[in-house]
Amino acid sequence: MKNLETYQNFYFVGIGGIGMSALARYFHASGKKVLGYDKTNTKLTQNLMKEGIDIVFEDLIDERITALQKEDTLVIYTPAIKTLGILDYFNQSQFEVLKRAKVLGLITENTDCIAVAGTHGKTTTSTLISHLCKEADLPFSCFLGGISENFKSNFLYNGSRYSVVEADEYDRSFLNLSPDWAVVTSTDADHLDIYGDKSHIEEGFRQFAALVPEDQQLFVRKGVEIGRGHQTYAVNEKADYYSDNLRMDHDKIYFDFHTPTETIKDFVWEIPGIHNVENATVALAILHNLGADFDTLKKAITNFKGIKRRYTKHIYENGKIYIDDYAHHPTEINAVMDSIKTFYPDKKLLVVFQPHLFSRTRDFADGFAESLSNADELILLDIYPARELQENFEGITSGWLLEKVTLDKKEVSTLSDAFEKIKEKDFDILLTVGAGNIDTLYDPICEWMNKL
């Protein structure tokens, strides 16, 4: 294929995806014409349109598409879209059509690429690494899987020596990257619709790890088997890099950070959960190896604001608390709820959960039921299908999952009815959680709780 620089037009099929939109912003910032399709109009697509990117929400071949010439147009698509008339048109018209991950690999191959992989924690870790790079004034660009509260975006350009990317295991996308530095946070079973079983997803991560040159840096959570040499990181246990002496004071966590040769005391961190201290530990390890000094890193850690929909918390004058989180796997839900129980052990917790994908709901039903049973009350929304068709998953419904939950106070709801149900409930803490379109409840809930 031609050099990316030779294309003047970039058409994104599925532009509203978090990874796709970061690429769209990159090409738009580079002065290229960017346009695309998505089936759903969201906050993210609305922001892209405000930035000057042309987006349609119907699968139609209009004049904006027919005006494009294959010689100067690159079409980028997400593998989450299986069939689409627009995509068929581009393929039949012999346009250059590439997966998102392939394009990301091409963009970053001429940089020192820092790739963060793992079934959990990669968004927080890659966003924190990017924040630390910015605070240390390193020349980098980042392509993130969430909206940084510091950057207000999932993309930032601050130079081109380094790139920070979230290495997505879905569809084995991360094997398109050329990482010079890499992190593996976890290899839990997920995306079994792609991998089949846990052994195959573990093999996928081993293949990813093998892409890192032997003379460069691979950091792996202690206890994760990756099949090659690496440096380890951990919390409350010794590793090549580890944090310990964790202390909580109100909503802040204090910890000490250990390298192989020194100890730096009293980092201050406001993102709750021991799992997030793990993420901070490996981010500090990376930046230490890039030459950043610890005075800069201490200040940067303290002013990290997190990621939208990653334990986004509001405390109201009446004492009620609202937390919104993207968790969509039992391990992630456990991490969020454990943090809530640690900070607020005696408060009544109402959970509103939207399962994401019929296949994931089926594969991890018992884990979801066990996690959700730790709430005081549960509103379980209909399953968000994303790329899947319900007729292929007969009997897999939210009602089926609800039967496995051991709570007395539990019910199923549509998304459209959920807000009115929430307003009728008695709770101290409200947690909305899930990766679908449950985020549309966020603004109405905030507005309502501000008035209570």
Q: Which residues contact 55 (CB under 8 A, 6 or more apart)?
A: 15, 16, 35, 36, 37, 38, 45, 48, 49
- 118 assigned binding-site residue: yes
> How distant, in Å, are the alpha carbons of 19, 91, 302, 377, 411 from that of 424?
37, 51, 38, 12, 13
- 123 assigned binding-site residue: yes
Residue type, 9: N
- 331 assigned binding-site residue: no
How big is the chain by its Cα radius of gyration, in Å?
Answer: 22
Q: Are strands 140-148 and 153-157 parallel, antiparallel or unpaired?
A: antiparallel
For 315, the enclosing helix (H) or strand (E) is strand 312-315
Residues pairing with 172 in the sheet: none
- 124 assigned binding-site residue: yes
- Is residue 318 within 8 A of residue 398, CB to CB? The reply is no
- Is residue 432 within 8 A of residue 340, CB to CB? The reply is no
Residue 382 DSSP one-character state: P
- Is residue 273 within 8 A of residue 339, CB to CB? The reply is yes
Annotated binding residues for ATP, written as ranges, equal: 118-124
Annotated binding residues, written as ranges, equal: 118-124
